[in-house]
Amino acid sequence: MVVYILFLVTVIYNSCLIIYAIEDYCSTNKFTNDGNTMGFTKEPSLSEYAILGKFKGLHCCAKGYRSIEWYKDGRPYPWHGTFSPLIIYPESANQTVYTQSVTREDAGNYTCLLRNDSVVYTHTITLRVFETLPDDPKITYISENTSACIGEPLRLFCEAFVGFVDLPDAYSEAFWSKSDGNDTFEDGSRIHQIKVSREDGQICGSYLIINNLKEEDYGKYTCTIIKPGRLMELFTYLSERKNSVTYVPPNEVPYKKLFIAAAITILLIATVIILYLQFGLVVRVFCKDHFGRLLE
């Protein structure tokens, strides 16, 4: 009996944790730009992974929308007919769909459609379901190579599904480093990282946050993902972008046109002089003969 109650308490406690975590997900680590134009509030994952029978949540964290609609392989929510279809988590304003126990049939492409009065955005997440934990980490997000101006803020993100390894000293994490430096980006420095995990540590990620970009920040960044017995490195390049707004192309002097115009002018003047020298007398005599007499 005691064992049974303990079991029950554990189950309830665990499911509370999970619900708390999915409720929390869209309200943490959001982009810092304000304004309420429609858009995503954090990096949306393209791929998600789950183990058969385990909890799984999919998220489209957004703002400025009037409604979010979900589709699975093109079919609108609700998804009847399968054993354990994902359901919308209404407390997160429809940003999350989840299931307590993933089935094989849950695998597929989940599309969220954000709508306001004038714009529609869609984002598709591919969910793969594994029967047993794969050995290698599975990437859920890695920032693309990017360029930024000096002085700008910047944020990179990487994340991978590592799964839950039930060993006493099992340890998984993701962290950023710069390939040509020793900086580990600890708290409080201009560049720092925020390590995150979700779904009970099955998914590990890290945000690299750069305030006020400097010349020396350009280069190659490495996101290292470690899980027991495995290590994976992902790379993102940060390059300089010249501020194109203040760049005005200098007015080129049109030497070629000027030269042609000058040549034509000289030719015209020469022609007039030659004509005058050749026929000037004849014209004057002709004029005198014809008009001179009329004037008398």
Q: Which is nearer to ligand NAG, 116 or 197 (CB)?
A: 116
Q: Residues 38, 88, 133, 165: which binds ligand NAG (CB under 6 A)?
A: 88
Counting contacts by CB under 6 A, is residue 219 touching ligand NAG? no
Burial label, 33 (beta-carbon count in 10 A; 0-12, 13-18, 19+): exposed
Counting contacts by CB under 6 A, is residue 96 touching ligand NAG? no
Binding residues for ligand NAG restricted to 222-281, rule: CB under 6 A: none
Distance separating the N- and C-terminal Cα atoms of the chain: 144
From the CB of 41, what's the least distance to ligand NAG, in Å? 15
Q: Residues 18, 59, 96, 108: which binds ligand NAG (CB under 6 A)?
A: 108
From the CB of 227, what's the least distance to ligand NAG, in Å? 26
Q: Which residues of 109-122 are buried (b: 16+ CB within 10 A; e: fewer)?
A: ebbbbbeeeeeebe
Binding residues for ligand NAG restricted to 8-67, rule: CB under 6 A: 67
From the CB of 218, what's the least distance to ligand NAG, in Å? 14
Per rule CB under 6 A, count of chain residues that contact ligand NAG:
13
Counting contacts by CB under 6 A, is residue 126 touching ligand NAG? yes
CA distances to 106, 185, 225 from 84, in Å: 7, 42, 31
Counting contacts by CB under 6 A, is residue 68 touching ligand NAG? yes
How many whole angstroms from its chain centre is CA 169? 35
Q: Which residues here bind ligand NAG, judged by CB under 6 A? A: 67-68, 73, 77, 88, 93-94, 108-109, 126, 180-182
